[in-house]
Structure 1
């Protein structure tokens, strides 16, 4: 499970983009360990929009036939 929800990430990124506060002060305000994570989320949001903040991992289940064709 992800440590931070999509809603939490979006709230913080939008606050960072719309305010004059720096990433360090906003990170401290929300109890984040490091401000670099906020910068990564902001870059992902600028590049991909809402999809940049959503969890990208999905568990794909492959059939035996698909596995065998790879080998």
Structure 2
């Protein structure tokens, strides 16, 4: 999935909140899922600009975190 920058999200969200439909905006800006626009609008209304910022969700697991699970799997 392509990450869309903050300025673009603000532009699309502002247009949506001004009354332009999500389907029209999705077609206009070639956004594959109109639900993306609805999500941005919802996050903007709830959290303001912070809701539109990218969130990096890097799941970091170390061998130490996985070790008890592996042991449990081998024993069980």
Q: State the TM-score, normalizing by the size of structure 1.
A: 0.72
- 1:1-71 alignment to 2 at 5 Å? 3-19=3-19, 21-57=20-56
Unmatched tracts of structure 1, length 5 or more? 60-66
Greater fraction of residues in helix:
2
**Count of residue pairs the alignment pairs up:** 58
Structure 2 unmatched ranges of 5 or more: 59-63, 65-76
Structure with max Cα Rg: 2
Q: TM-score, normalised by structure 2?
A: 0.68
Cα-Cα RMSD: 1.7
Runs in 1 of length 4+ with deviation above 4 angstroms?
A: none
